[in-house]
Amino acid sequence: MRHTASIIITTAVGGTLWFGAAAVRDASAEAGRPPQALHAPAKVAVVSDADRRAELNARLQAMLQDGKGARLADPKPQTTPAPRRQTAARRSPETPRPARAVAARATAPALEPTATIAPPAYDPSRARPTGGRGYTAPKLDLTSMPAVPTDPVECLTQAIYYEARNESEDGQAAVAEVVLNRANSGRYPGDVCAVVYQRNSRTCQFTFTCDGSIGRYPVNMTAWARAERIAREVYAGKPTTLLPRTSVNYHANYVRPSWSSRLERVRRIGAHIFYGAALNGSTPGANEAPAPRQRGLMFVKNDAFERAYAMLTGKPAEDAGS
């Protein structure tokens, strides 16, 4: 027992001495280091501007190679603004006008020639009351015949003005062509004025001749002069290709006459729809007899009746008719 206890004590004392010597040795090593080395911070890499530019250039080159450099296109070069136009000096009355200005002035539309046909007189008693809206079918007066002109150009002018004065020149010329087509067809009256003023007991072929349009409002002289010029051109045979010769009917686009389904539709010009040959039956107003005249009592002189009356009454024959 004493021997074992001695071994344990000896081992414990030896271990203590060994650990003590190690601690003294570590303390001596720490004491030998310089003070700044114990608390020195970690080193940070310093990147220069040249390195940054090199790195950025490498990234841009990689984007271009990968096809992602569309946004790296060169900017558009700035253009130099045009110098301001200097105001030309005022032209004196003696200075001639430039040739370009003269040419532009020469191409300006010419004014309508002065009308040579007097328009219908204005009758205030025929004016319609204002304030109405929409289209109202006109009341036709078929009992009193208006004064019919004898000049075919005047009748054409009236037809153009009252039927299509707000239409284009083609639309006005087409109305005149319809009138001439009727006069030349052999199925309507052969006279232009008779065509324009044709009527029967039911209606008139051109509405303005029986609905009171003539004289209802003062005539616009500019529109009247244009209508007269177009009437003269069409009547003189100015070549046009507006309508075929079979076109003898038309109507406004805001009405639907029953006869429109029986005719061949040719074309539309402005607010008017024009028709050609009949598909089934005849065209309106064609081969139509004029309205019958009113018949009254007729007194016819008869010599035989007078002699018989004289024999019965005893009066001379010359006094029998009194």
The pLDDT assigned to 299 comes to 42
235 class by beta-carbon count within 10 Å (0-12 exposed, 13-18 middle, 19+ buried): middle
Query: What is the distance, to the nearest Å, from the Cα of residue 281 to the centroid of all Cα atoms in its chain?
Result: 37
The pLDDT assigned to 281 comes to 74
Judge contact between 208 and 158, C-beta under 8 A: yes
Q: 172-175: long-range contacts at Cβ-Cβ below 8 A with a sequence spacing of 24 or more?
A: 172/226, 172/227, 172/230, 173/230, 173/233, 173/234, 173/240, 173/242, 174/242, 174/243, 174/250, 174/269, 174/272, 174/274, 175/250, 175/272
Lowest mean pLDDT among 60-64, 75-79, 120-124, 218-222: 75-79
Between 157 and 100, the more confident residue is 157
Q: Quick check: 190 pLDDT over 70?
A: yes
Task: Write down how long the chain is.
Answer: 322
Instruction: Assign 66 a pLDDT band (cuts: 50, 70, 90).
Output: confident
Q: Which of 174, 157, 196 is nearest to 243 (CA)?
A: 174
Q: Quick check: 109 pLDDT over 80?
A: no
Sequential DSSP letters for 194-247? HHHT-B-SS-BSSGGGTSS-TTTS---HHHHHHHHHHHHHHHTT----SS-TT-
Query: What tokens does 85 get?
Result: 């136009």
What kind and span of H or E run contains 269? strand 263-269
The pLDDT assigned to 85 comes to 62
Instruction: Assign 127 a pLDDT band (cuts: 50, 70, 90).
Output: confident
In terms of pTM, does the model score above 0.85? no
- Residues 3-51: pLDDT tens digits? 544 555 555 545 555 555 555 455 555 555 555 544 555 565 666 888 8
Between 142 and 127, the more confident residue is 142
- Residues 231-250: pLDDT tens digits? 999 999 987 779 999 999 99
Mean pLDDT of all residues belonging to the chain: 76
